[in-house]
């Protein structure tokens, strides 16, 4: 099965870094969305195994935590992870229904790659 990931709310530089990190971890298709509306449209059109959401969406400044709350209402919502270095933001994301995410500062750590592999392995099955 092909792995498909949606990366939401990153600037171009950060999306490229996250895309490269994901490709290092697992062969996959990584789509990008800039707004909650684009996110929902892409989720209607494609089956994603994971959705990565920036704490604050770059394009419109909206809250990634609020987007997590909205997406969790969708039947068969894929796993969601917040991209943030802030522990408080990660705790809020988890309380909203996301899995433990990671920060941009940790994308090169082996434990981040292993966590991503575990999440994707469970999602693809």
| pTM confidence score | 0.95
77: Cβ–Cβ under 8 A, 6 or more apart, which residues?
Answer: 71
Per residue in 52-80, pLDDT (tens digit) is: 999 999 999 999 999 999 999 999 999 99
Quote the tokens at residue 5: 């990931």
Region of 76 please: left (phi>0), alpha (psi -120 to 50) or beta. left
Overall number of domains in the chain? 1
Name the helix (H) or strand (E) containing 7.
strand 3-8
Tokens of 48: 């994603």
- Domain extent for 56: 3-124
The CATH code of the domain that includes 54 is 3.40.50.2300
Q: Can you tell me the distance from the alpha carbon of 5 to that of 108, in angstroms, rounded to the nearest whole number?
A: 18
């Amino acid at each position: 099965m092909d792995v498909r990931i949606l990366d939401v709310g990153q600037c171009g530089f950060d999306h490229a870094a996250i895309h490269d990190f994901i490709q290092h971890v697992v062969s996959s298709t990584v789509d990008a969305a800039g707004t909650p509306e684009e996110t929902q449209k892409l989720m209607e059109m494609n089956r994603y195994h994971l959705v990565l959401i920036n704490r604050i969406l770059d394009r419109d400044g909206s809250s990634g935590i609020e987007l997590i709350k909205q997406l969790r209402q969708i039947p068969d919502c894929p796993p969601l992870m917040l991209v943030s270095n802030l522990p408080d933001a990660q705790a809020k994301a988890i309380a909203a229904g996301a899995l433990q995410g990671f920060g941009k500062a940790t994308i090169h750590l082996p434990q981040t790659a292993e966590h991503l592999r575990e999440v994707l392995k469970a999602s693809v099955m």
